[in-house]
Amino acid sequence: MTIKTNNQPRDLLNVWDFSPKDQARIKQDFDWLEDIESDSSFFQYKGRIYNLSEFMRGGAEGWDGSKADSWSCGVLVKVSSDGEQVVCGWWSI
């Protein structure tokens, strides 16, 4: 597995921290979240908006969670000790 990251911390955001266009997209894409307005677990990576609840624990040594985008690639996250930021990485095989 190959992992690429720039180790850039990204703030975990509330839906209201995004542009109105992105807010509408979030509300549509994450309609399964019970209380989307109070959820502060969103972040943007590679032009996509993610929510931490999409990630499964583990995935690669040294990373806190992973989400597959296909059978051969996906996103990894490391959550900061204060729980307010994530560092993202891209994995592929």
Domain count for the chain, please give it: 1
70-90 residue pLDDT tens: 999 999 999 999 999 999 999
The torsion defined by the Cα of 74, 88, 63 and 28, in degrees rounded to 10, comes to -60
Helices (H), the chain: 20-29
Cα gap 48→20, rounded to integer Å = 15
Amino acid at site 90: W
Structure tokens given for 70? 């296909």
Contact 17, 44 (CB under 8 A): no
Owning domain of residue 70:
2-92
26-66 residue pLDDT tens: 999 999 988 888 888 999 999 999 999 999 998 899 999 99
Provide the pLDDT for residue 39: 84
List the beta bridge partners of residue 89.
76
Q: What is the mean pLDDT of the chain?
A: 94
